[in-house]
């Protein structure tokens, strides 16, 4: 494909704009073991990480193409000793910089160094609103207290702060206490994101998917809090994200394939979404190609751009320009073929898989202790079992 739109095939495709959002997945190392982590199941096989200089070159190329926002994530990005240097480099290039962290490993001293580097924004994730459940999900007894302490320190440093809670069947019923905690911690934004099923979350879906009743109650509680907070003049903004599994139309995943989002994995694979490395599609490495080529010319980034690739029912659907056929990763995980319509769509011949999962959520007795936790040992076992 070329950007001038000169070929007949290209003419039918929308123009390709630059990647506005760069996600730098600095590492897969992480001190926690959340069973809903979106990292790949075989992350333990991926030990290599880009060097400081290689990352900065990626930032430079992305910025030159027009990227404006960068997220530092992982794994836990705080394990990278060069994080202040990476933040400073991105900031000096003109990026709006966002740290996505569990808060484990954060210290007052690090916050000072990030402030000096020019970090704009911090998102801290919690597992639950109480220490016991937080520890059961994260696999760390100390994590909850550390998160509380660091959330307070982040505010004291004057950062805009997002608190993120991944909701699932084991914590969604404490949503009122979660919101209370966020208000107490003076979060500017609160993301109450119901678990989406990629990576480890997909592996543990039976034990994580809430029931429809749980979702509806949670939505009600959020609504009440929004009203109460508006009346009291609270500035905390509550975002509630429902799971795809209770929708009848798919989401326009990543704003469209290769449309605005570019993710780079720890060892340098460039992806149009953070889950795409599981797809049977070849994706380029930033060590072998520049981002200009990767974004505009590579096979992987063009594979699902536009509409020509779509089979029915997406091809003739009048909503295809809104949802782009849904999520390619979800289509692949649930149907074995990434070209299919996302089974979330009620028009998909595979929608029965979603209905079956909802039914399973009503019947399962699975406890937290039965979930497969995201750690190196489990990752290696899964890799060997699938080899």
Site for ligand FES in 269-308 (CB under 6 A): 273, 275-276
Nearer to ligand FES, 136 or 259 (CB): 259
Closest contact distance (angstroms) between CB of 257 and ligand FES is 6
103/272 with CB nearer ligand FES = 272
Tokens 């011949």 correspond to 349
Instruction: Return the closest-CA partner of residue 18 out of 227, 292, 356, 276.
Output: 292
Contacts (Cβ under 8 Å, ≥6 apart) of 199: 37, 38, 39, 40, 41, 275, 374
**Smallest distance from ligand FES to CB 15, Å:** 20
**344 is an interface residue for ligand FES by CB under 6 A:** no
State yes or no: 34 annotated in a binding site: yes
41 interacts with ligand FES by CB under 6 A: no
374 lines the binding site for ligand FES (CB under 6 A): no
Write out the binding residues for ligand FES, residues 238-257 only, by CB under 6 A.
Answer: 253-254
How many Å separate Cα 161 from the centre of its chain? 17
Q: Which is nearer to ligand FES, 207 or 258 (CB)?
A: 258
Residue selected from 329, 333, 357, 361 as contacting ligand FES according to rule CB under 6 A: 329
Strands (E), the chain: 21-25, 69-73, 96-101, 121-126, 161-167, 189-194, 237-241, 261-264, 270-271
- Any known ligand binding at 253? no
| Shorter beta-carbon distance to ligand FES: residue 273 or 382 | 273
CA separation, residue 100 to residues 75, 127, 163, 200, 256 (Å): 10, 14, 10, 18, 23
Q: Does 314 bind ligand FES (CB under 6 A)?
A: no
Task: Closer to ligand FES by CB, 91 or 303: give it.
Answer: 303
Residue 263, interface with ligand FES (CB under 6 A)? no
Contact 36, 208 (CB under 8 A): yes
Give the shortest CB-272-to-ligand FES separation in angstroms.
7
296 in Cβ contact with 16 (< 8 Å): yes
**Rounded Cα–Cα distance for residues 124 and 101 (Å):** 5
Tell the smallest beta-carbon distance from residue 310 to ligand FES (Å): 14
Binding residues: 30, 34, 37
Instruction: Give binding residues for [4Fe-4S] cluster as ranges.
Output: 30, 34, 37
Query: Which residues of this chain interact with ligand FES, rule CB under 6 A?
Result: 198, 253-254, 273, 275-276, 327-329
């Amino acid at each position: 494909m070329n950007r001038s739109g000169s070929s007949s095939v290209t003419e039918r495709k929308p123009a390709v704009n630059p990647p506005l959002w760069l996600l730098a997945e600095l590492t897969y190392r992480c001190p926690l073991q959340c069973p809903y982590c979106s990292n790949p199941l075989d992350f333990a096989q991926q030990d290599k990480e880009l060097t400081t200089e290689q990352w900065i070159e990626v930032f430079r190329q992305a910025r030159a193409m027009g990227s404006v926002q960068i997220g530092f994530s992982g794994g836990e990005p705080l394990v990278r000793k060069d994080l202040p240097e990476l933040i400073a480099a991105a900031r000096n290039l003109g990026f709006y910089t966002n740290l996505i962290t569990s808060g484990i490993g954060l210290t007052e001293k690090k916050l000072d160094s990030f402030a000096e580097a020019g970090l704009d924004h911090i998102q801290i994730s919690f597992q639950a609103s109480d220490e016991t459940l937080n520890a059961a999900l994260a696999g760390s007894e100390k994590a909850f207290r550390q998160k509380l302490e660091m959330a307070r320190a982040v505010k004291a440093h004057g950062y805009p702060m997002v608190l993120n809670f991944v909701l699932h069947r084991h914590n969604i019923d404490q949503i009122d206490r979660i919101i209370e905690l966020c208000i107490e911690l003076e979060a500017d934004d609160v993301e109450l994101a119901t678990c989406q099923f990629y990576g480890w979350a997909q592996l543990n879906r039976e034990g994580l998917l809430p029931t429809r009743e749980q979702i509806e109650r949670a939505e009600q509680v959020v609504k009440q809090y929004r009203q109460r907070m508006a009346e009291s003049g609270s500035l905390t903004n509550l975002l509630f994200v429902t799971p795809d599994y209770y929708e009848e139309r798919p989401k326009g995943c990543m704003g469209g394939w290769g449309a605005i989002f570019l993710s780079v994995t720890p060892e340098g694979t460039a992806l149009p979404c953070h889950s795409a490395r599981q797809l049977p599609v070849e994706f380029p490495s930033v060590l072998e190609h520049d981002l200009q080529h990767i974004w505009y010319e590579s096979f992987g980034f063009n594979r699902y751009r536009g509409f020509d690739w779509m089979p029915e029912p997406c091809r003739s659907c009048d909503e295809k320009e809104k949802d782009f056929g849904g999520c390619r990763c979800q289509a692949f995980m649930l149907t074995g073929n990434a070209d299919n319509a996302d089974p979330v769509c009620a028009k998909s011949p595979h929608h029965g898989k979603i209905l079956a999962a909802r039914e399973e959520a009503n019947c399962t007795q699975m406890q937290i202790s039965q979930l497969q936790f995201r750690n190196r040992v489990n990752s290696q076992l899964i890799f060997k079992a699938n080899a």
